[in-house]
Structure 1
């Protein structure tokens, strides 16, 4: 068995235990083990052979024995025994948005449904609406969710998994003799929220030793192709990675071509033809040149030179989707996109007061170390019990700790006191106005009942945005990539309301959210919506997720003046005061 197969069995066991109703700690132990093996950069068989299974995070003696059983026998007796009680096919139902373990167990025990296809058939036939707390509306929503799963059930990888992996591989390739430059290419360099496979580029004169190293990396499961300038492999986690090597003097055209998008490249080639040039990944060539293959090549060792040949300003990879960037460049109207260096604060984070892992002071010190000038502490509000949400009494206790931390941080850094307040299922807000008025900054968020009908969930978010004490809506739709699409919001109405109420909308930088999504950011820029790019950090390490949010903002053409956490503190405080909160 390989890494993927072992990880899948542990993941299935976790889900089957959840459906059975086992204690959460047992479920989580298998789930964490699955994730650790999925992320393992070595063949698990080799790890077993050298006796290092318990060195894998989350793998203790009991789970190590189960891994050994799978690797030596090709099966797991515990899984087989569990499968007699909980059919493994039930696990597929958990991929349906809004369908949790308890409901899956209910439809299995009540109706004898064991597969997703049977569930779909039963729902369309009206057989689920009689179940407790189901009803016709919930049944109809379930049908739509199954249809959505069928539409989106592809093999694309979330950027939060693909980006770190690509960086790890490049870090291995960079020290090799002869390597001059390395880069990520394709949709991953354009920072799309999911990618099909990973494209990597290397500049070097001698490709052979680099290719040999690449195809023989410990994380490689199989080799799909191994040529002189291109190789393709499948990793232990199932992801395909392609590597191309060309000389440094052709780096600009190579990087541009393989970054894409296809439509952007077509436009570049059209511009080249208007100048009597042919453009491919190797070079520009005059179309009327009668000489040899290399007689009049125009080489570009950087992308900047490529765009100069075309009489264009440099276009950032995050814009290259043929969504008007060529026209804007030709007309001198490319936006000055927000850059990560401009971000001077984070307005959304959690501490040990709710579900965070670090103290107020630790979060402040980590933010300052990353160049920030101020932060807002926004722990969850009281009704979100699963996150240890704060009552008003605890809020005022927290205020004392924030004051002490401010004293310790000194005058060059400021900690503001805020909350991430729940927009409750009935549409009411979790705190009264007199509580909100005492806080420096108020976030409102949807976490529960995201599957409510459109009219109901829209009423909830509109109620929050029209409250003068609410300064920002965090992760507006509540989506989680890749499986939870989020609330059924009319985003045009949300964006227009944000303008009229002066409500800031968040671009949540956590790669599982990226909410607002890039298309909504683009429309927000057209309407004049104020945005904030935040990490929603629960640990200091999560401040490092900021670049995902900045890239999403860039893909939506967001500029620095429209991103409020690029503002100095005085400007933000003036805005909040003038807003009348």
Structure 2
């Protein structure tokens, strides 16, 4: 259930794409893109702004303000609806495939009669795509690969979308009288990067499990009220199932939410069961069976007489199974049960994993100097609002033309502006001069070394040539790691979740080089990236490489994405000490200095 801001952001982004498909003015395209970024970064709901307040926002002219007000009043923008009528919906869908931008989609449509994904597949097979100027076999093979990638994850959703929906559902359920606790479960609770369906559990009154009634029913009145509240949510398109204990509804974009009501006394068992993973649950049930017990979604019981051993909390169930509590993010049957058994036998908990509250610094953020919507001071204020002691200003380098990347001369002036801000804010926060510097296809950096040497923080990131063969990608990234001015390797593979696979380098070699150099590998917390992946982060931790959990903030609200990066780090088993953003102010400064060679 998207907010006004999220819906408006999507509208302006779509207007930019459609305008470009139709060959519209580039300035108009950029204006729509800018409007999307401004709305996305608003710190309060767009519906609460007056026209004069909107026009006063940087990047919002009278036309944009009027469109925002029109959307708030009617739920649509007439200009957007007109654009949609002029472009087939299937052509828009083409732009969801990595490697197909608005210009390519327009050419496919006009020159090869491609108006859908199926048409695109046919055009690849019958040679229509190959007949287009500029589309050689290598490019066509890349598109075919991207199509296969998109189909493989077609029924999945990014965790950011799923988390927003789960939050809206949980809020509605929590407001029902009689509900005692609400939690999201499933792969979302386990911190997975993509989600199938959203699972939400509600603890309501009802009898506890017993030998006589091992599957007690929740209070029917409260359960009905819970389901009514969910059905009334904006965005519910269809009620799929409504039973005595479960409600399934479908929201826009095909995202399904399953809401279950369980007696409060069974909540721990139900939460463990519906959190999963399936493989982890099988391991627990097998463990229970070997100990003469049975584990279900209602309780852990004694097989001999059916007496309840534990049911109210997950910790009680784990303890009864001879395990330390296993955090949800680790429940993937990757050795966590064995580690939890060893910890329990030693009378200790599993190591505490990093939490969002542990983060005290941001090392990757953008301002209006490139494609952000915050001034330097606004970025600093946003970091202070998060309780941070340090923030690095890392605008894009010169090769990122579409992101208003800074030329060498502009960067020099920008460094001066950041240094001035650092002086103004030094008592409250450390403001670091940095740049997100493109790693070019051959591994060289987008700025010369003498300019990089002027920066406190260099986040080296790949943005282009992301279809390189693994060997070339490995050489490219290794060369960047070896640069003596690099502090953090940013979103290492350049992948986009559910859209672009990105680079596939030799990760053990990359990790070893990072360990030798002492640079950090970034977990980019944007739900569109989550790069490093969890398995790559785990590999880094095994080698003693530090992680940096950065939000890649372009606006104030982007700082909230930290929770997604933390979830990925927790799935890798990261503790606070493994993440440089958790260091104290002086410790972080010393670590940054140590990366310079």
Q: Distance in 1 between matches of 2:433 and 2:494?
A: 23
Post-superposition shift, 1:58? 4.7
The residue aligned with 1:141 is: 142
The 8 Å contact of residues 252 and 302 in structure 1, kept in 2 or not, is answered as yes
Deviation at 1:57, TM superposition (A): 9.6
Q: Match of 1:431?
A: 447
One of 395, 407, 415 as aligned partner of 2:431 = 415
Change beyond 3 A, Cα 1:198–1:24: farther
Among 565, 568, 573, which residue is 1:549 paired with? Answer: 565
Alignment partners' CA distance in 2, 1:393 and 1:69: 42
**In the alignment, is residue 321 of structure 1 matched against residue 322 of structure 2?**
no
**Separation in 1 of the partners of 2:185 and 2:524?**
24
Does the 8 Å CA contact 1:477/1:516 hold for their aligned counterparts? yes
- Alignment partners' CA distance in 2, 1:273 and 1:126: 59
CA contact (8 A) 1:126 1:139 kept: no
272-281 vs 106-115, which moves further: 106-115
Alpha-carbon contact 1:12-1:88 (below 8 Å) kept:
no
Q: Shift of the alpha carbon at 1:162?
A: 0.8
Residues 68 and 498 (structure 1), Cα distance of their counterparts in 2 relative to 1, 3 Å cut? closer
TM-superposed deviation, 1:481:
2.2
Query: Following TM superposition, by how much is the alpha carbon of 1:485 offset from its aligned partner in structure 2, in angstroms?
Result: 1.8
Cα distance in 2 between the residues matched to 1:69 and 1:527 = 55
CA distance in 1, matches of 2:364, 2:465: 22
1:29: Cα distance to partner?
8.8
Shift of the alpha carbon at 1:113? 4.7
Give the Cα separation in 2 of the matches to 1:263 and 1:342.
Answer: 30
For 1:94, the equivalent position in structure 2 comes to: 95
Q: Which residue of 1 aligns with 2:184?
A: 184
Q: Indicate the residue corresponding to 2:20 in structure 1.
A: 18
Which residue of structure 2 aligns with residue 173 of structure 1? 173
Q: How does 1:473-484 map to 2 (within 5 A)?
A: 473-484=489-500
Structure 1 position 396 matched with structure 2 position 407:
no
Deviation, 1:203, is 1.1
Post-superposition offset of 1:119: 3.9
- Which residue does the alignment assign to 2:422? 406
Structure 1: runs of 5+ lacking an equivalent: 37-53, 71-75
| Counterpart residue number, 1:503 | 519
Counterpart of 1:305 in structure 2 is 316
TM-superposed CA distance for 1:156, in Å, is 1.4
Question: Matches of 2:258 and 2:475 in 1, distance apart?
Answer: 47
Instruction: Note if contact 2:241-2:248 (Cα within 8 Å) is conserved in structure 1.
Output: yes
User: C-alpha distance in 1, partners of 2:507/2:520?
Assistant: 14
Tell me how large the CA RMSD over aligned residues is: 3.4
User: Greater shift after overlay, 452-461 or 140-149?
Assistant: 452-461
Change (3 A) 1:520 1:390: same
Distance change (3 Å), C-alpha of 1:115 and 1:69? closer
Bigger mean CA offset, 432-441 vs 563-572? 563-572
What does residue 42 of structure 1 align with? none
Report what 1:155 is aligned to: 155
Equivalent residues of 1:442, 1:471 under 8 A apart: yes
Distance 1:352 1:300, change over 3 A: same
Q: Secondary structure of the equivalent of 1:510?
A: coil
Gaps of 5+ in 2: 40-62, 206-218, 344-348
Corresponding residue of 1:105 = 106
Q: Distance in 2 between matches of 1:576 and 1:217?
A: 47
* 1:546-568 deviation line (CA, Å, top 9, x unaligned): 11100100011122222111122
User: Judging changes above 3 Å, is the alpha-carbon distance between structure 1 residues 298 and 528 closer, same or farther for their aligned structure 2 residues?
Assistant: same
- Structure 1 residues 484-499: aligned runs within 5 Å: 484-499=500-515
Contact 2:492 2:531 in 1 (8 A): yes
Which SS does the other structure have where 2:381 is aligned? helix
In structure 2, do the counterparts of structure 1 residues 185 and 353 end up closer, same or farther at CA, with 3 Å as the change threshold?
same
Structure 2 contact 172–229 (Cα < 8 Å) conserved: no
**SS of alignment partner, residue 395 of structure 2:** coil
User: How far did 1:173 drift?
Assistant: 1.8
Cα gap change, 1:236 to 1:395, in 2 (>3 Å)? closer
Residue 121 of structure 1 deviates from its aligned partner by 4.7
SS of 1:145's equivalent in the other structure is helix
User: Hey, what does 2:555 align to over in structure 1?
Assistant: 539
Distance 1:446 1:239 in 2: 31
User: Structure 1 pair 88/565, CA: closer, same or farther in 2 (3 Å)?
Assistant: closer
1:267 maps to 2:278 = no
Q: Deviations over 1:294-329 (max 9, x none)?
A: xx2234322111111112111111111111110111
Asked if the contact 1:16–1:88 (Cα under 8 Å) also holds between the matched residues in 2, the reply is no
Deviation at 1:532, TM superposition (A): 0.3
Change (3 A) 1:178 1:115: closer
- Counterpart secondary structure, 1:379: strand
Cα distance, 1:412 vs structure 2? 4.4
**Given that residues 29 and 58 in structure 1 are in contact (C-alpha distance below 8 angstroms), is that contact kept between their aligned partners in structure 2?**
no
Q: 1:198 & 1:124 partners in 2: Cα distance?
A: 37
Show the counterpart of 1:521. Answer: 537
1:476 & 1:68 partners in 2: Cα distance? 38
Matched, 1:224 2:226: no
Give 1:276-291 correspondences, 5 Å limit.
Answer: 276-289=292-305
Partner of 2:437, secondary structure, is strand
Output aligned runs, 1:331-350, within 5 Å.
331-332=342-343, 334-350=350-366
Confirm or deny that 1:235 pairs with 2:237. Answer: no
Query: How far did 1:15 drift?
Result: 5.0
Would you say the 8 A contact 1:473–1:505 is kept in 2?
Answer: yes
Mean alpha-carbon deviation: is it higher for 116-125 or for 373-382?
116-125
| Equivalent residue, structure 1, for 2:212 | none
Distance 2:553 2:11 in 1: 31
SS in 1 for 2:446: coil
Q: Secondary structure at the match of 2:522?
A: strand
Shift of 1:66: 11
Using a 3 Å threshold, how does the CA distance of structure 1 residues 170 and 61 change in structure 2: closer, same or farther? Answer: closer
Distance 1:229 1:107 in 2: 49
Is the alpha carbon distance of 1:78 and 1:122 closer, same or farther for their aligned partners in structure 2, counting shifts above 3 Å?
A: closer
Higher relative contact order (CA 8 A, sep 6+): 2
CA distance, structure 1, for counterparts of residue 555 and residue 13 of structure 2:
25
Determine the C-alpha separation between the residues in 1 that align with 2:297 and 2:524.
35
